Amino acid sequence: MRDVSIIGIGQTPVGEHWERSLRHLAYDAVKAAMGDAGVERADALYVGNMLSGEISGQSHLGPLIADFAGLRGIEAVKVEGACGSGAAAVRMGYLAVASGLQDIVICAAVEKMTDDVGNRLTSGLAQAADADYELIHGISFVALNALLMQRYMYEYDVSHEDFAGFAINAHANAVGNPNAMFRRAITLEAFTKAGMIADPINLLDSSPMADGAAAVILCPAPQAREFTDNGVRIAGSAMATDSLSIHDRHDPMWLQAAQDSAERAYRQAGVGPDDIDLFELHDAFSIMSALSLEATGFAARGKGWQLAANGDIRPDGRIPVCTMGGLKARGHPVGATGIYQIVEAAQQLRGEAGDCQILNARLAMAQNIGGSGATIVTHILERE
Amino acid sequence: MRDVSIIGIGQTPVGEHWERSLRHLAYDAVKAAMGDAGVERADALYVGNMLSGEISGQSHLGPLIADFAGLRGIEAVKVEGACGSGAAAVRMGYLAVASGLQDIVICAAVEKMTDDVGNRLTSGLAQAADADYELIHGISFVALNALLMQRYMYEYDVSHEDFAGFAINAHANAVGNPNAMFRRAITLEAFTKAGMIADPINLLDSSPMADGAAAVILCPAPQAREFTDNGVRIAGSAMATDSLSIHDRHDPMWLQAAQDSAERAYRQAGVGPDDIDLFELHDAFSIMSALSLEATGFAARGKGWQLAANGDIRPDGRIPVCTMGGLKARGHPVGATGIYQIVEAAQQLRGEAGDCQILNARLAMAQNIGGSGATIVTHILERE
């Protein structure tokens, strides 16, 4: 296989883009990434998206976005792994470049969650869970996560307030990110008093739905210098899966696919958790942050919440997390989130994270989760 | 890159499977292919599907099918390119094996079009077209193809009856295929008198919606002999795209992506149209057969219909087409069709096509089309 580098990154601000359609958002991100890389063509485009069929009545995004970006004719296809779709598209692009069959590859992801004329957002998101064995009971996706959080609090004798550090850190970090949806800090009091959504998950445990698109340009690592002095090598790339149904798992409190994909990525990169300088994890809900930190080796079982409580996840802490605001405050355009995480990790490694910059960042990890842990994609990026 | 072979194939009969759900159909095909290859594990699963969200309220098929097939944990993701999803999944599997990162890869595709409780089939299929510029006028997918056929008949002075040979050949071939949906021959009179759907497309110009699943197992070509004496090498693999909207194309009568992907596949395989022993083309509608034959070099522009009229596409003709019944008579479970085509091509090359067998078949081509020509994936398979 060939080694692969990221030579260009692009993103739209995350938010409610009433004046931009699905294809326009994707165009903005793809063009920004191509401009950043200084390329005017590409061999292939892999598109991450979850909800375009449900919300916009539009599938078949591969050729649509390739054409709209002025790249008519190239290999182009959509990749779907629920909220893990974005990083899954990067994984496919990685395979394409690694194979030697494609040289310049665009991985783009887009989600347009506003303009939901059919009122199908909640049912669309729920399709990430098992339709026959979970959804049939009428449960929503936030309710599934609430069950996980309830169980976690019971098993490990943790209070709701113990999770506050995740949201507080994310909001504090988003202040410095011009592309974030919520650029305002929150207090512990605001967290504890936020309105309940599905007990114990309240509004500030939850990432907001949003519109947005992000893109990266990949090429063979030996060629990266031809395009940029600021290349970022993909040192590790891995995808693992688990059952869709939470009740089918050996241990509902353990994200096995997070462990599996992280271990594969660590092994490929030849590093361990102690070597990682920042971690863009998938904080769709507070509980996911705790479980992700445990399964990837940053905290012992049942202790993930402590890293938030004691400040370890802050920019000056042991393992800075969600350094640009995370899903919680940057916003969570579901199928696009995985590429936002990778773009932000690359910004950090390139020293272009502005007020969010982590000093001397050399190795960054990004972990994108689909469903309640059924698809987990982990990438480790290294400054070149 | 590593060369790639198909070491296992599996399929369910195509039809109305009221007693089998989406996941059961996929399971049947995956298990059949694994049994055929003699493998009990795999490194990755790429799933082609178009409509599971619309019809079954279930996305996130990668982990769902991996888990249900006893492969929990492996890399697994869905690939979507409308009706071209099946071959697109094979293309992703091909990249994964070629890269050297995965060894044993399953490419499976499934579609469950019955049990359409929300009555969303027509709108779901239409999502392959451009929602903002085509569907907004209320056009359905068959109507888009009817516009193409009308224009073709006008431009080239061809009658509706001139297309009859495509359906007659497909139905005659399906008689010998135990997995085909319609195992009965049809007459010219039946074709000309069939009920009109969208003028000039009548019932026998149209492939039927259906349930079904198909799968192939890929491995590095040098290892194929460890599994089978009946390996099939993927000599060429290519995907190309075009605009979703027909009105945006330079020439609506030309499938540019069929030409582009076929030319890339020919070049990779080092062959041309004259070397191909059989061609599983995408006869979703009669007009697509004619356009596909022209764009891939088997007929001159405007002359594709002649190959049907003069018998060239029959099993004993110059270029046997849809040798197991094609979409028209084997049936068209949309997102699964691309892998049915590849499985059938492999059956021919392995000499296992039974009553459908093309004598001395050495090179087979399969071409899968998404939308009205926006995603086109071409594979050339070679007997090892």
Q: List pLDDT tens digits, range B121-141.
A: 999 999 999 999 999 999 999
CB contact under 8 A, B95 and A91: no
pLDDT digits (tens, 9 = 90+) for A118-145: 789 999 999 999 999 999 999 999 999 9
pLDDT of B117 strictly over 80:
no
Residue B211 is classified by DSSP as B
Q: List residues of A with catalytic annotation.
A: 83, 332
Query: For residue B361, is it left (φ>0), alpha (ψ between -120 and 50) or beta?
Result: beta
Alpha helices by DSSP H, chain B: 22-37, 52-56, 61-68, 85-98, 121-126, 141-156, 164-174, 188-193, 224-227, 256-269, 286-295, 304-309, 337-349
Among B61, B75, B237, the residue to mutate for chain A (most A Cβ within 10 A): B75
> What is the C-alpha to C-alpha distance for residues A8 and A95, in angstroms, rounded to an integer?
18
Spot the catalytic one: B83, B107, B219, B322: B83
pLDDT of B257 strictly over 80:
yes
Return the residue matching tokens 């409580």: A309
Flag whether residue A50 sits within 8 Å of chain B, measured between CB atoms. yes
Q: Is the dihedral of CA B50, B53, B56, B59 positive or negative?
A: positive
Stretch B257-263: mean pLDDT, rounded?
98
Q: How far is A66 from chain B (nearest CA, A)?
A: 8
> What is the C-alpha to C-alpha distance for residues B185 and B198, in angstroms, rounded to an integer?
23
> What is the C-alpha to C-alpha distance for residues B66 and A381, in angstroms, rounded to an integer?
28
Which H or E run includes B220?
strand B212-220
> What is the C-alpha to C-alpha distance for residues B35 and A7, in angstroms, rounded to an integer?
43
Of A50, A80, A99, the CB nearest to B99: A99
Between these two residues, A62 and B1, which has the higher pLDDT value? A62
> What is the C-alpha to C-alpha distance for residues B337 and A351, in angstroms, rounded to an integer?
47
Tokens (6 digits) for B195: 């009920």
Return the residue matching tokens 């939901």: A116
Return the residue matching tokens 């094609």: B326
pLDDT of residue B115: 86
Cis peptide bond N-terminal to B208, omega within 30: no
pLDDT of A24 strictly over 80:
yes
pLDDT of A117 strictly over 80:
no
Comparing C-alpha atoms, which of A240, A319, A241 is closest to residue A281?
A319
Stretch A108-122: mean pLDDT, rounded?
91
pLDDT of residue A342: 98
Beta carbons of A51 and A9 less than 8 angstroms apart: no
Beta carbons of A224 and A231 less than 8 angstroms apart: yes
Is B219 annotated as catalytic? no
- For the question of whether the overall pTM of this predicted structure is more than 0.95, the answer is yes
Spot the catalytic one: B17, B171, B282, B332: B332
Report the share of chain A in percent with pLDDT over 70. 100
> What is the C-alpha to C-alpha distance for residues A287 and A158, in angstroms, rounded to an integer?
11
> What is the C-alpha to C-alpha distance for residues B277 and B295, in angstroms, rounded to an integer?
17
pLDDT digits (tens, 9 = 90+) for A290-301: 999 999 999 999
In angstroms, the Cα distances linking B281 to A111, B38, B268, B320 are 34, 29, 19, 10
Q: B82 to chain A: which residues are within 8 Å by CB? A: 59-60
Beta carbons of B299 and B313 less than 8 angstroms apart: no
CB contact under 8 A, A127 and B101: no
pLDDT of residue A118: 79
Residue of chain B whose Cα is closest to the Cα of A76: B241
pLDDT digits (tens, 9 = 90+) for A304-360: 999 999 999 999 999 999 999 999 999 999 999 999 999 999 999 999 999 999 999
pLDDT digits (tens, 9 = 90+) for B223-238: 999 999 999 999 999 9
pLDDT digits (tens, 9 = 90+) for B273-306: 999 999 999 999 999 999 999 999 999 999 999 9
Q: Report long-range pairs for A151-159 (Cβ below 8 Å, ≥24 apart).
A: A151/A252, A151/A253, A152/A253, A152/A287, A152/A290, A152/A291, A152/A302, A153/A200, A155/A253, A155/A302, A156/A302, A156/A303, A156/A305, A158/A302, A158/A305
pLDDT of B116 strictly over 90:
no
Flag whether residue A112 sits within 8 Å of chain B, measured between CB atoms. no
Beta carbons of A336 and A179 less than 8 angstroms apart: no
Q: Is the dihedral of CA B293, B299, B304, B306 positive or negative?
A: negative
Q: Considering only residues 224 to 263 of chain B, which have any Cβ-Cβ distance to chain A shorter than 8 Å?
A: 238-244, 248, 256-257, 260
Comparing C-alpha atoms, which of A348, A342, A344 is closest to residue A366?
A342
Return the residue matching tokens 């299929």: B125
pLDDT of residue B144: 97
pLDDT of residue B119: 85
pLDDT confidence tier of residue A212, bands split at 50, 70 and 90:
very high
Among A52, A77, A263, the residue to mutate for chain B (most B Cβ within 10 A): A77
Of B57, B62, B126, the CB nearest to A241: B62
Q: Considering only residues 305 to 344 of chain A, which have any Cβ-Cβ distance to chain B shorter than 8 Å?
A: none
> What is the C-alpha to C-alpha distance for residues A318 and A316, in angstroms, rounded to an integer?
7
Cis peptide bond N-terminal to B252, omega within 30: no
pLDDT of residue B192: 97
Residue B182 is classified by DSSP as -
Which residues, in sequence order, are CB contacts of B78 under 8 Å at separation 6+? A79, A80, A81, B46, B47, B48, B49, B59, B60, B61, B62
pLDDT of residue B107: 99
pLDDT of residue B304: 98
pLDDT of B371 strictly over 80:
yes
pLDDT of residue A115: 85
